[in-house]
Amino acid sequence: MKATVRLQREPFDAAAVTAELTRGRTDVGAVVTFAGICRGDERGEPIAALTLEYYPGMAEAEIERHVKEAATRWPLLGVTIVHRHGRIVPGEDIVLVVTASSHREAAFAAAEFLMDYLKTRAPFWKQVETTSGKTWVDATAADDVAAARWTARRPGREAAE
Amino acid sequence: MKATVRLQREPFDAAAVTAELTRGRTDVGAVVTFAGICRGDERGEPIAALTLEYYPGMAEAEIERHVKEAATRWPLLGVTIVHRHGRIVPGEDIVLVVTASSHREAAFAAAEFLMDYLKTRAPFWKQVETTSGKTWVDATAADDVAAARWTARRPGREAAE
Amino acid sequence: MTTRLRYFAWVRERVGKPEEVIEAPAGVRTVGELMAWLASRGEEYAHAFENPNVIRAAIDQRHVRPDASIKEAGEIAFFPPMTGG
Amino acid sequence: MTTRLRYFAWVRERVGKPEEVIEAPAGVRTVGELMAWLASRGEEYAHAFENPNVIRAAIDQRHVRPDASIKEAGEIAFFPPMTGG
């Protein structure tokens, strides 16, 4: 399986990243792309920008571990993850997850699994910039519930793993 | 909600189609794109091409009804579906489903729902071209099971609906 | 009563035409009965409708079941299970 | 034993520095005990670690629970729940 993980400050071209994964091959039948985009509001309040802090080294390692985990769960042909850090303004992409498989079920499931894990386990922290200042975004219980779907299927896994 | 359904013989530019849905707006936080691609093999045998026949009029109506249904189930900001017909060679896109929402859960669920329905309810028929001739692709039980997930949640719906 | 029939995919290939206008006997009231009557119209129809359980139908471009009435039908289509997407 | 500590997001802001090297007393054996000891080191630490239940930790860049031993740790990080993606 072709796996690519990129953490970068710069904006990226989602179409070009997706094309990289399928170019010149005819075994891929399904590609699922998730783009997480900076909205102009956060919980109702207009925002000027997001700033993403991350833990260099750990972030790459965590994401790569989860890509490998996805590849053991589903028959994937390729995965690409790009996650930005630094300042991001509304309308810009924050994260891109692309999964390729022969069939759609695997591509969909792996993309959801990876997004749920990025939201709850990858060491990134979002700060929103509004007219009233900068505040850290709270983690949501909904994201924890979404991530728990995947561990519930593998009883015995260490909770902090 | 912005809904676009296009049935066409010509190849399409998935990136341009996806960009149309989000350009100039800052309420979209999540975009899920599914691309169904013509593989170079069908159940193990190499193929030269697929030919898709469809029922003009009914295909558009069926897809539009399911897009509306998706919009009643999830808080969507936009949906675009492009489905090709005619002759398609390995490596080319067959179908594209793009869903946009404020949050990822709705975008993922709607894209999966629409793909399951396209596979089992939209009046399209695939024929594969191999060195030994042309044969119609059989419907798979797995696709019916996938589509049944969505009706199981709404008891009382007419089975043929 | 005349009705327009349309055939797709291998149903079309077996019947040998994409569409036709027919006049069904008065006793033919449902989609299932129409398939049985069509199967009696000749070898190509018998082949197309030899296993009616696998054939799907639409009346005026909406999916229907075999027990659907054809009374108000303007256009009835027969085709194999769909394989799009 | 000296250990390198790293802080992220509001833990970093409250402590007032992104990292430091500390020497924890011999009785401090787990991540939870280390947080309690850090909280006693001054006002900024007390503020950062006032609610240890919401603080996550990693040892050598792997998530760990509060009962994890810090004995072999080269680098210990403290941060709020993650909000990436």
The pLDDT score that the predictor gives to residue B127 is 96
Which residues of chain A approach chain D closer than 8 Å at the C-beta? 36, 52-55, 57-59, 61-62, 83, 94-95, 115, 118-127, 136-139, 159-161
- Examine residue C61 and state whether it is found in any structural domain, yes or no: yes
Average pLDDT over residues D29-40: 98
Domain harbouring D38, CATH code: 3.10.20
Residues 6+ apart with CB under 8 A from C84: B52, B54, B59, B83, B95, B118, B119, B122, B123, B124, B125, B126
Q: Could you give the number of structural domains in chain D? A: 1
Here the ipTM equals 0.91
Q: Domain of C57?
A: 3-68
Kindly list the residues from chain A whose CB atom is less than 8 angstroms away from the CB atom of residue D75: none
- Whole-number Å distance between alpha carbons of C11 and B53: 12
Query: Shortest CB distance from D10 goes to which of A54, A120, A136?
Result: A136
- Whole-number Å distance between alpha carbons of A81 and A87: 19
Q: Distance from CA of residue D34 to its chain's centroid?
A: 7
Strands C75-79 and C2-7: parallel
Give yes or no for residue D78 having a pLDDT over 80.
yes
* Between B38 and A154, the higher pLDDT residue: B38
- Examine residue D29 and state whether it is found in any structural domain, yes or no: yes
Q: CB–CB of D62/A64 below 8 Å?
A: no
The pLDDT score that the predictor gives to residue A153 is 55
The alpha-carbon gap from A52 to the nearest alpha carbon of chain D, in Å, equals 8
Average pLDDT over residues A114-137: 94
Q: CB–CB of A66/A116 below 8 Å?
A: no
Kindly list the residues from chain A whose CB atom is less than 8 angstroms away from the CB atom of residue B36: 29-30, 104
Confidence of residue A147 (pLDDT cuts 50, 70, 90): confident
Q: What is chain B's pLDDT, residue by residue, as a tens digit (161 residues)? A: 999 999 999 999 998 999 999 998 999 999 999 999 999 998 788 999 999 999 999 999 999 999 999 999 999 999 999 999 999 999 999 999 999 999 999 999 999 999 999 999 999 999 999 988 999 998 888 888 888 888 865 444 444 43
The pLDDT score that the predictor gives to residue C47 is 97
- Whole-number Å distance between alpha carbons of A95 and A77: 20
Residue at C45: amino acid letter: Y
Give yes or no for residue A155 having a pLDDT over 50.
no
Superfamily of domain B2-152: Molybdopterin biosynthesis MoaE subunit (3.90.1170.40)
Kindly list the residues from chain B whose CB atom is less than 8 angstroms away from the CB atom of residue A41: 26-27
- Examine residue C73 and state whether it is found in any structural domain, yes or no: no
The alpha-carbon gap from B111 to the nearest alpha carbon of chain A, in Å, equals 9
pLDDT digits (tens, 9 = 90+) for C54-74: 999 999 999 999 999 999 999
Average pLDDT over residues A22-44: 93
| Disruptive mutation site among A124, A151, A158 for chain D (greatest number of D CBs within 10 Å) | A124
Query: Beta partners for A101?
Result: A30, A76
- Examine residue C16 and state whether it is found in any structural domain, yes or no: yes
The domain spans of chain B are 2-152
Give yes or no for residue A150 having a pLDDT over 90.
no
- Whole-number Å distance between alpha carbons of C85 and B37: 9
The alpha-carbon gap from D64 to the nearest alpha carbon of chain A, in Å, equals 6
The pLDDT score that the predictor gives to residue B150 is 84
C touches which chains (3+ CB pairs under 8 A)?
B
- Whole-number Å distance between alpha carbons of C5 and B143: 28
CB contact under 8 A, B34 and A32: yes
Tokens 């692709």 belong to residue? B137
| Disruptive mutation site among A13, A31, A98, A140 for chain B (greatest number of B CBs within 10 Å) | A31
| Interface B:C, ≥3 CB–CB pairs < 8 Å | yes
Q: CB–CB of D39/D46 below 8 Å?
A: yes
Strands B93-101 and C19-23: unpaired
